[in-house]
């Protein structure tokens, strides 16, 4: 999150790289999201979509298929797609953590929130009023706005980590004792009490992510239409453009 001062003609954009420093009033476009971040975002969107659809049918299987069981492998394909997307999500999170270290400062916004800064919470409140149609104009931010930053960390990132951990714990049951998944994540099941409890929390986590995605897409499209800067196109081109 990097706010652009509204009343300064000479102040540089706070937090941008040296080669991106420009005067606040003349700023038109800033390169924000690097290629690996954008690739991760869209692969992540695909993985979560596959996981949600296949996870729903794993929790609520289709009616019995006609004919011999050996001739119907539909649930097997659904489970395979779920497992493959789960691997993709997990590897993507590891890659995203790596890029948070080697990428630009905007690549690190997802992984920490300045919760002890009063100014941050004032900006969060300002964005809450904007999304509630109380405020006439939002602030101008180069990276994530403060409310989006909070949501991405506490509602998406931590939930995604929870889903990976509980998912691989359940995967370890099928892979049986001694498998890598059982060795690394087998402790999760007794921590929750039993396997069914892990299933329940994993299923609830899926619905939490679905709600988050709906709100995230709505907020991004709304900001593109009503806000002062680009959002959706920024995650395609990497450039944040400003309307005023």
**Beta-carbon count within 10 A of 140 CB:** 21
Tens digit of each residue's pLDDT (9 = 90 or more) over 117-170: 999 999 999 999 999 999 888 888 888 999 999 999 998 999 999 999 999 999
For 239, the 3-state DSSP assignment is: strand
216-236 pLDDT per residue, tens: 999 999 988 888 888 999 999
DSSP letter (8 states) at residue 141: B
26 pLDDT higher than 70: no
Which domains are assigned to the chain?
A: 31-64+71-241 (1.20.950.20)
- For residue 196, give Cα distances in angstroms to 93, 173, 174, 200, 219: 26, 12, 14, 6, 35
Radius of gyration of the chain from its Cα atoms, rounded to whole angstroms: 21
What is the three-class DSSP state of 178? coil
pTM over 0.75: yes
Contact 37, 99 (CB under 8 A): yes
Judged by DSSP in three states, 23 sits in: strand
């Amino acid at each position: 999150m990097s706010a652009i001062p509204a009343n300064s003609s000479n102040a540089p954009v706070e937090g941008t790289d040296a080669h991106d420093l420009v005067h606040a009033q003349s700023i038109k476009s800033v390169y924000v999201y690097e290629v690996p971040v954008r690739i991760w975002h869209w692969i992540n969107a695909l993985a979560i979509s596959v996981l949600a659809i296949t996870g729903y049918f794993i929790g609520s299987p289709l009616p019995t298929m006609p004919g011999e069981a050996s001739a119907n492998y539909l649930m097997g394909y659904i489970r395979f797609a779920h497992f493959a997307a789960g691997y993709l999500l997990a590897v993507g999170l590891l890659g995203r953590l790596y890029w948070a270290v080697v990428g630009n400062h905007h690549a690190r916004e997802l992984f920490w929130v300045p919760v002890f800064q009063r100014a941050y919470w004032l900006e969060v409140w300002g964005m809450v009023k904007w999304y509630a149609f109380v405020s006439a104009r939002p602030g101008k931010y180069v990276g994530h706005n403060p409310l989006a930053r909070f949501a991405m960390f506490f509602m998406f990132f931590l939930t995604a980590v929870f889903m990976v951990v509980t998912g691989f714990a359940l995967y370890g049951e099928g892979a049986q004792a001694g498998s890598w998944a059982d060795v690394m994540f087998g402790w999760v099941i007794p921590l929750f009490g039993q396997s069914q409890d892990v299933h329940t929390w994993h299923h609830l986590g899926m619905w939490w992510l679905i709600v988050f995605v709906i709100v995230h897409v709505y907020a991004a499209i709304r900001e593109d239409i009503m806000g002062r800067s680009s959002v959706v196109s920024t995650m395609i081109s990497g450039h944040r453009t400003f309307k005023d």
